Amino acid sequence: MKSWRSRITAGLVVGAAAIAIPLTATSAVASPPPGSGWHVAGGMTYDSKGQCEAEELSNAQHNGYDEVWCDGPGGRAEYTVWVR
């Protein structure tokens, strides 16, 4: 029969793992591009980063922004659109 000390230790290890694993396995939160003043403007699926930035630039300029930066994995994917 296990001692209470080993049962408590095992319980703490299992509890810590149950908390740590979901925290480390969550998806990454989009971080802004280098520099200051960037704001998330939305996101959509585009064929490339270049297409995203080219299509979103006129929308950004229409709303008073000068720059667009698209964050995504590359290729056809969903991109996060940042403006400043």
Q: Which two tokens stand for residue 20?
A: 């740590």
pTM > 0.75:
no
- Is the pLDDT score of 43 beyond 60? yes
Q: Which two tokens stand for residue 29?
A: 């939160």
Secondary structure tally for the chain: helices H, strands E: 2, 3
- Is the pLDDT score of 40 beyond 60? yes
Averaged pLDDT score across all residues of the chain: 80
| Tens-place pLDDT, residues 54-70 | 999 999 999 999 999 99
Q: Which two tokens stand for residue 33?
A: 């591009």
List the domain boundaries for the chain.
39-83
pLDDT of residue 25: 46
**Rounded to whole angstroms, how far apart are CA atoms 62 and 58?**
6
**Rounded to whole angstroms, how far apart are CA atoms 29 and 81?**
13
| Cα-Cα end-to-end distance for the chain | 65
